[in-house]
Copies of this chain bind each other. A is one copy, B any other.
Amino acid sequence: MSEKADFNELTERQQHLLRALVEHYISDGQPVGSRTLVKESGLSLSAATVRNVMADLEDLGLIKSPHTSAGRIPTNKGYRLFVDSLLTVEKPTQEEVERICNRIEAEDNIQAILDKTSSLLSEVTQLAGLVMVPRIEAQSLRHVEFLPLSENRVLAILVINDKDVQNKVIHTRRPYTSSELEQAANYLNQVFAGRDLSSVRSHILNEMSEAREQMTQLMATVIEMTNALDLGKQQQDYVIAGQTNLMGYDQMADLDKLRQLFEAFNQKQDILHLLDQALEGQGIQLFIGEESGYEALEDCSIVTSTYESDGEILGVLGIIGPTRMPYKKVIPIVDVTAKILGSALKSMS
């Protein structure tokens, strides 16, 4: 065989046939044989020649046959090469874009926007949609309130970035009175309103050491409160929609596999870790099959895109589905959705 066996330098013909094979398999779901491929590719070659090429591609680990007398299907490596260098994406229609745009912008609070985005992703692609909730780097403290509960418990309410409210029950060492708490809150509001949340704690410790000798009851209260609040520690989370879409694909017909997958969705941690990786990568990112590193996802591909506003990356969103998915359509949809979400979030503030 004179075809270059070099992975990085497939011949024109190899590329052409690989692309045709992957595309046909994606739309058909059946292993594709040499005869079919000849017709599909448009090349004027005989089936035998195509067979030779296919044998080469198989040697390269790009395609495989499920059994002797079936056609070939792409391996994950094959999919990877396909999306990296053979794929011609198909821009979403104006209609689709507008639909996404309108429906996202109709929502009026962050949670609703994320939910809608996720369900739109799943609806348009017929896969499962994922949206990581934005990690707001700059969490600026707007307002603090402490309310004494029974005994040694205090309810803390934080208003962050002018609209998000977090609350937390703090278990304290000793009971505090309303007025103590009020003073502490007033102090914090006066000194730290508008400041970045993650810096509040260190600032307080600074000020405390400066004024150690005149350490007041107030200061002690403030310190206990802020310590307990775990400021700046933001728990990550994501919103998922359309999991049930995944139950329709033959590739996911294995109930055990499907179960593992759904458990991963519930557990959240693995998926979060993956989204975290995608966050590092910036822009569009694909994980095909075992590339994700999780057994539960070994038959799945994940397509993600970071979303940003004002050039700052806020989070990541995407879809998850079987490795055999219409990348051509899915990738651009994830892309525009990320852009739309970014600007929707921006216009919220």
Residues of A within 8 A of B (CB): 108-109, 142-143, 145, 147, 149-150, 155, 157, 159, 162-163, 165, 167, 169, 171, 241, 243-244, 247-248, 253, 255, 258-259, 262-263, 266, 349
Contacts and interface: CB of A to CB of B under 8 A. Distances in A.
Nearest to A247: B259
Decide if the interface of chain A is mainly helix, strand, loop or mixed.
Answer: mixed
A344 to B, nearest CB: 15
Nearest to A167: B165
A155 B147 contact: no
Contacts of A171: 108
Contacts of A165: 155, 157, 165, 167
Given A253-B255, A258-B247, A169 B163 contact: yes
A3 to B, nearest CB: 42
Contacts of A142: 147
Nearest to A265: B244
Contact of A109 (B163, B169, B244, B263): B169
B169 A108 contact: yes
A147 B159 contact: yes
A163 B159 contact: no
B147 A145 contact: no
Contacts of A150: 162, 349
A169 B162 CA distance: 11
Contacts of A349: 150
Contacts of A248: 259
Contacts of A255: 247, 253, 255
Contacts of A149: 162-163
A119 B216 CA distance: 45
22 contacts: A108-B169, A108-B171, A109-B169, A142-B147, A143-B147, A145-B145, A145-B157, A149-B163, A150-B162, A150-B349, A155-B159, A155-B162, A155-B165, A157-B157, A157-B165, A163-B169, A165-B165, A243-B266, A244-B259, A247-B255, A247-B259, A248-B259
